[in-house]
Amino acid sequence: MDDGTITVGKVYLYGGQVTSWKNDHGEELLFVSSKAIFKPPKAIRGGIPICFPQFGTHGNLEQHGFARNRLWTIDDNPPPLPVNPAIKAFVDLILKPSDEDLKIWPHSFEFRLRVALGPNGDLSLTSRIRNTNTDGRSFSYTFAYHTYFSVSDISEVRVEGLETMDYLDNLKGKERFTEQGDAIVFESEIDKVYLAAPSKIAIIDHEKKRTFVLTKEGLPDAVVWNPWDKKAKAMQDFGDGEYKHMLCVEPAAVEKPITLKPGEEWKGRLALSAVPSSYCSGQLDPLKVLQG
Q: What residues between 249 and 278 interact with ligand BG6 by CB under 6 A?
A: 250
Taking the CA of residue 240 as centre, how many other CA atoms within 13 Å lie in the half-sphere pointing to its CB?
A: 1
CB 28 within 8 A of CB 21: yes
Q: Give the count of residues interacting with ligand BG6 (CB under 6 A).
A: 10
Backbone phi, psi, residue 5, to 5°: -120, -55
Rounded CA separation 81/258 (Å): 22
Site string for ligand BG6, 116-145 (x = CB under 6 A): ------------------------------
Write down the catalytic residue from 64, 146, 242, 255.
Answer: 146
Given the complex with ligand BG6, which of 43 and 274 has the nearer CB atom?
Answer: 43
Q: What residues between 8 and 47 interact with ligand BG6 by CB under 6 A?
A: 43
* Minimum CB distance to ligand BG6, residue 236 (Å): 10
| Interacting residue with ligand BG6 among 170, 215, 285, 290 (CB under 6 A) | 170
* Minimum CB distance to ligand BG6, residue 238 (Å): 8
Write down the catalytic residue from 160, 242, 250, 255.
Answer: 250
Site string for ligand BG6, 48-87 (x = CB under 6 A): --------x------xx-----------------------
4 Cβ contact partners less than 8 Å away, ≥ 6 residues apart: none
Of 36, 106, 108, 43, nearest in space to 70 by CA: 43
* Minimum CB distance to ligand BG6, residue 170 (Å): 5
Query: Is 68 marked within a binding site?
Result: yes
* Minimum CB distance to ligand BG6, residue 129 (Å): 19
Query: Is 176 marked within a binding site?
Result: no
Given the complex with ligand BG6, which of 191 and 242 has the nearer CB atom?
Answer: 191
Given the complex with ligand BG6, which of 29 and 224 has the nearer CB atom?
Answer: 224
Rounded CA separation 190/37 (Å): 24
- 163 catalytic? Reply is no
- 250 catalytic? Reply is yes
Given the complex with ligand BG6, which of 108 and 226 has the nearer CB atom?
Answer: 226
* Minimum CB distance to ligand BG6, residue 55 (Å): 7
Instruction: Work out whether 223 is an interface residue with ligand BG6 (CB under 6 A).
Output: yes
Query: Is 45 marked within a binding site?
Result: yes
The catalytic residues are 146, 250
Q: Which residues bind ligand BG6 (CB under 6 A)?
A: 43, 56, 63-64, 146, 170, 191, 223, 225, 250
Binding residues for substrate: 45, 63, 68
